[in-house]
Amino acid sequence: MEFLFALLVGALFTVSVYLFLSRHLIRILMGAAILGNAVNLLIFTTGRVTREVPPIIAPDLPTLEVAAANPLPQALILTAIVISFSFFAFLLVLGYRAFEELKTDDTEEMRVAEPVDDPAPPLGY
Amino acid sequence: MASPSPTPVDLSAAMVMAPSSPSDWLVVLPVAWCLLAGAILLMIRRRTELQAGLAIAALSLLALMDLALLSRVVADGPVTMTMGRWLPPFGISFTVDVLGAVFAFTSALVAVAAAVFARGDVDANGRRYGFYPFLMLLMGGVSGAFLTGDVFNLYVWFEVLLISSFGLLVLGSTREQIDGATKYAFLNLVATTLFLITTAYLYGLFGTLNMADIAVKAPALRGTAPLMTLTTLYLLAFGMKAAAFPVNFWLPASYHTPKLVVSALFGGLLTKVGVYALLRTQIMLFPLERGELATLIAIVAALTMLLGVLGALAQNDQRRAVGFLVVSGIGVMMAGLALGNPGGLSGAVLYGVHSMVVMAGLYFAVGLGARVSGTFLLSDGGGIHAARAGLSFVTLALLLSVAGLPPFSGLWPKVMLVRAALEAGAGWLAAAILVTGLLTLVAAGRVFALAHWRPAQIEAPRAAARAGDRGALASLVVLTALSVVFGLWPEPVIALAQKAAAGLLDPSAYILSVFPGEVPQ
């Protein structure tokens, strides 16, 4: 099961890196969305895929009897989902504003902060 | 349903039974205070006239808390507090050692100076859009990153400071800012995601996220687990956060675009959080693996410092030149990380403290200078010395401090790093540090000659004296004075840096503070 998940995680990372390599902001945004999901699935897989048994100790037992689901990766993923969601929301608005202000979504043409024809500093007085 | 449990449960096996002593609360207080103050300022963000005073008071209190924490840690060794009563490694631990406390205190000092400077730099509109709440939340993230003892928690604080920094970066929404922020946001997303990926692998291998627990368990796993992969991925992720070459290009693309006080905060604090995380993971958690990577880190360090200062030499805009000087300083700190000996590490910590203060001060100086001459460009600049000799003098002191000349603070860390490099037999790294110092002096001297010393080239707009001008000058003078005092009387800070480096190299006190009794194997 972990093997299949590892393949899926690899595929998601591949897609997201491919999208990130694009010059167009909208594709990079989609890459960011997939990247977040790829990482969440990775955390889930590294926590080991175990049976869907809740880790609750029966009242008459001192410890867990059967192998149960690992709750910690789920807590980590929950945190990561919240963060990547807010991140993505910000990036969406930022990408839209960049398109409005700079009239392009091509990152090669986004040279307002670092102009191409920036003069060299003077060599003397 | 709640029937009494038939088997008696020994809670002390899993939970902290004794209540935390009040002085232990000091460990989490800086973070809690920043978040609380940020929330309060957010609620009253329309009362723009109240914001600055409250934020300055809150940040001054933060500096006092960090100072108390620092003196406690220096006196008693590392302090730990674990959340939710769960015993470590199950609860999230905040563990403060000298390294974290020194950086937290210095960052709080810089934040106070920035809050004072901002009174004249951020207008009512910027305040209404939440400059001061963002500043408090940024400091919450920075303090949390310095104080936490848990890797995943470190990731969360990185995100807190990152998201606050987005807010600060786009405050004002000029075209340059949107352009710079786009690159900053996407590249930092990649960096933090790499951090998270590595943390996922770390959890998969160790089954724990507590730093002290990892440091204990690493030797046993060394033969079987791919710790080298973890260390290399952390190096890449934090190197990107710290703006080390070749993953530094987001910094010069964005740091000159926001308001100057924001540039000063970012240049002073944010990259140092990356350096701190590098020190923490590479030295304390995976020291042997770092030894294998030492040559790579040294090459990265030399390239970062040299290309950083060459970038500074090529810039016409003073803000962009200072941005490249920040990058160059990261290279100097990475040199200490590459050496990994006590001298190199204390030099790196010392340089971090120096760089926080001086880089923030330099951005302030550039901003105040531009108010006088009316431009940031070297080609049009001039006349600041004729108009405001005092401001020009303070700026020169900061420029010389960045270059590492006595009697300013830049000298001592470079002396320690060069000596450590020579002791380790890395003469070329020592040479790189010295050449960087010389080139920095050229870049700094040119800024002074062109923007300050020569007669004015353009008609400066007669700017009306802004409210908060005196406060801005005062915060600049205080930061410069810190640099001078530390340059003339370096022993206390050097002793602290050596203590911080010793705590990293031998984390037994750190581990003992997390696991006071039996260390789990």
How much is the average pLDDT of B75-96?
A: 88
B1, part of any domain: no
Contact B159 A94 (CB under 8 A): no
A113–B176 CB contact, under 8 Å: yes
Among B188, B190, B214, CA closest to B201: B214
The residue among A87, A102, A105, A106 with the most chain B CBs within 10 A of its CB, best to mutate, is A87
In sequence order, what are the beta bridge partners of B150?
B210
Indicate the pLDDT class of residue B417, thresholds 50, 70 and 90: very high
Whether A119 sits inside 8 A of B316 (CB atoms) is yes
Question: pLDDT-based confidence at B462, cuts 50/70/90?
Answer: low
State the pLDDT at residue B6. Answer: 54
Q: Express each pLDDT in B421-451 by its tens digit.
A: 999 999 999 999 999 999 999 999 999 999 9
Q: State how far the Cα of B257 lies from the Cα of B325, in Å rounded to an integer.
A: 16
Residue B413 is assigned to a structural domain of this protein: yes
CB contact under 8 A, B178 and A102: yes
Q: What is the ipTM of this complex?
A: 0.93
How much is the pLDDT for B121? 85
pLDDT of residue B371: 87
Residue B141 lies in a domain: yes
Residue B7 in domain: no
Q: In the 8-state DSSP scheme, what is residue B349?
A: H
d(CA A106, CA A97): 13
Query: Is the separation of the CB atoms in B263 and B255 below 8 Å?
Result: yes
Compute the distance between CA of residue A52 and CA of residue B385 in angstroms, rounded to an integer: 73
Largest CA distance in chain A: 87
Amino acid letter, residue B101 = A
CA dihedral of residues A56, A61, A63, A69 (deg, nearest 10): -30
Chain B residues near residue A98 by CB distance under 8 angstroms: 178-179, 182
Phi and psi at residue A46, to the nearest 5°? -70, -20
Structure tokens at B114: 């920035």
In the predicted structure, residue B12 carries a pLDDT above the cut 80: no
CA-based nearest distance A22→chain B, Å: 13
Report yes or no on B11 lying in a domain: no
CA atoms of B335 and B92, how far apart (whole Å): 32
Distance CA B300, CA B316 (A): 26
Question: How many separate domains does chain B show?
Answer: 1
What is the pTM (predicted TM-score) of this model? 0.94
Q: What pLDDT is recorded for position B1?
A: 43
pLDDT at residue A120, rounded to an integer: 84
pLDDT given at position B9: 67
| Residue scoring higher pLDDT (A16 or B2) | A16
The amino acid sitting at B449 is A
**Closest residue by Cα to residue B350 from B154, B151, B147, B98:** B98
Give me the residues of B, 440-459, that contact A with CB < 8 A: 446, 449-450, 454
| B6 part of a folded domain | no
Looking up tokens 């102009």, which residue turns up? Answer: A115
Assigned domain for B339 exists: yes
Question: B83, B148, B186: best mutation site toward chain A, by most A Cβ within 10 Å?
Answer: B186
Domain membership of residue B95 (yes or no) is yes
Report chain A's mean pLDDT, rounded to a whole number.
Answer: 88
Mean pLDDT, range B327-346, rounded to an integer: 95
Q: How many CB atoms lie within 10 A of CB B456?
A: 18
Q: Which of B230, B235, B234, B232 is nearest to B217 (CA)?
A: B230
Which class for B284: exposed (0-12), middle (13-18), buried (19 or more C-beta within 10 A)?
buried
What does the mean pLDDT of chain B come to? 91
Surface of B (107-136) touching A: CB under 8 A: none
CA distance B135 to B138: 5
Query: Closest approach of chain A CAs to the CA of B103, in angstroms?
Result: 25
Residue that is written with structure tokens 């405050």 in the block: B171
Question: Tokens standing for B4?
Answer: 């009494």
Distances from the Cα of B406 to the Cαs of B12, B410, B415, in angstroms?
56, 8, 11
Is B156 in Cβ contact with A83 (below 8 Å)? yes
Mean pLDDT, residues B194-209 taken together? 93
Among all residues of chain A, which has the CA nearest to that of B2? A59
Interface touch B196/A102, C-beta < 8 Å: no
Where do the domains of chain A lie, and which CATH numbers do they carry?
2-51+67-109 (1.10.287.3510)
Residue of chain B minimizing CA distance to A59: B5
The range of the structural domain enclosing residue B163 comes to 24-514
- Residues 6+ positions from B49 with CB-CB distance below 8 Å: none
Look at A79 and B196 and tell me if their CB atoms are within 8 Å: no
Query: What are the residues of chain A with a beta carbon less than 8 Å away from any beta carbon of chain B?
Result: 20, 25, 28, 32, 35-36, 39, 42-43, 45-48, 59-62, 72-73, 76, 79-80, 83, 86-87, 90-91, 94-95, 97-98, 101-102, 107, 110-114, 118-122, 125
The verdict on a CB contact (< 8 Å) between A110 and B182 is yes
Confidence of residue B134 (pLDDT cuts 50, 70, 90): very high
Q: Tokens 């070749």 belong to which residue?
A: B246
Cα R_g (chain B), whole angstroms: 23
Average pLDDT over residues A2-24: 94
Residue % of chain B over a pLDDT of 70:
96
Q: Which residues of B touch A20 (CB under 8 A)?
A: 190
pLDDT digits (tens, 9 = 90+) for B489-498: 999 999 999 9
What's the mean pLDDT in B404-411?
A: 90
> Does B189 touch chain A if contact means CB atoms closer than 8 Å?
yes
pLDDT at B284: 93
